[in-house]
């Protein structure tokens, strides 16, 4: 006696057996859900791995502890510049709450000893170049000051300075004020984004070193 053919199971949600098309659709949906799950897990794993690499880099890269000292050894840089030129260079002493960011000789006609300083306080803004142009006069200042000529003179201490005013700093590389003076054969220019009061204060602070330069130290 032959057995009766086995009937397909009744699907509870349908109340009847699945049709072949419904079975195919169900399997396709299940496969799609599985693939989506695997893709999501892969993304999570990649994200975790990336975060781990970043943390590792942060841990192994050495970080200096800035204690307020100048970023540049200005006396050493000045000594090297003097050795190169065989003549004295300006060695300013910015206020204690300032840092020296750069001190270099810029080759050209004329050669320029250029020092960049900035306030060190977290809430302070601005910067200044203290530049000594060798064998130059006020005409040289037209180059770093983008063609701006002096408007007059001001006196700080016993020294007279050419005064440069910039009504539109955004058109002059953010330079907003400058003071320049002739020291023997050289022209010293202090310029940047400190404003009139800030630049004058810096000039007053470094005036003793400017006097030393004029005296040949």
- State whether 86 and 136 are in the same domain: yes
- State whether 56 and 80 are in the same domain: no
More confident residue, 29 or 97: 97
- State whether 174 and 147 are in the same domain: yes
Q: For residue 67, is it within any domain?
A: no
- Kindly tell me if the per-residue pLDDT of 6 is higher than 70: no
- State whether 53 and 122 are in the same domain: no
The range of the structural domain enclosing residue 21 comes to 10-60
pLDDT tens track for 144-159: 999 999 999 999 999 9
pLDDT tens track for 175-188: 999 999 999 999 99
For the chain, give the secondary structure using H, E and C: CCCCCCCCCEECCCCEECCHHHHHHHHHHHHHHHHHHHHHHHHHHHHHHHHHHHHHHHHHCCCCCCCCCCCCCHHHHHHHHHHHHCCCCCCCCCCCCEEEEEEEEECCCCCEEEEEEEECCCCCCCCEEEEEECCCCHHHHHCCCCCCCCCEEEEECCEEEEEEECCCHHHCCCCCEEEEEEECCEEEEEEECCHHHHHHHHHHHHHHHHHHHHCCC
- State whether 136 and 37 are in the same domain: no
- State whether 42 and 98 are in the same domain: no
pLDDT tens track for 103-122: 999 999 999 999 999 988 76
- State whether 145 and 109 are in the same domain: yes
- State whether 47 and 90 are in the same domain: no
State the average pLDDT over residues 83-98.
Answer: 92
């Amino acid at each position: 006696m032959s057995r009766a053919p086995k009937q397909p199971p009744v699907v509870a949600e349908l109340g009847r057996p699945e049709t072949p098309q419904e079975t195919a659709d169900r399997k396709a949906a299940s496969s799609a859900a599985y693939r989506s799950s695997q893709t999501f897990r892969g993304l999570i794993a990649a994200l975790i791995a990336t975060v781990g690499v970043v943390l590792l880099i942060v841990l192994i890269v050495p970080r200096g502890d800035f204690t307020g000292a100048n970023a540049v050894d200005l006396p050493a840089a000045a000594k090297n510049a003097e050795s190169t030129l065989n003549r004295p260079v300006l060695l300013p002493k910015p206020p204690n709450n300032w840092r020296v960011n750069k001190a270099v000789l810029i080759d050209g006609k004329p050669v320029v000893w250029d020092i960049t300083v900035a306030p060190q306080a977290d809430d302070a803004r601005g910067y200044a170049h203290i530049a000594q142009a060798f064998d130059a006069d006020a005409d040289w200042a037209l180059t770093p000051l983008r063609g701006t000529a002096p408007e007059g003179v001001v006196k700080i201490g016993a020294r007279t300075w050419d005064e440069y005013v910039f009504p539109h700093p955004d058109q002059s590389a953010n330079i907003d004020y400058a003071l320049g003076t002739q020291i023997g054969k050289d022209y010293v220019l202090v310029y940047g984004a400190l404003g009139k009061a800030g630049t004058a204060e810096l000039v007053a602070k470094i005036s003793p070193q400017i006097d030393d330069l004029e005296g040949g130290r």
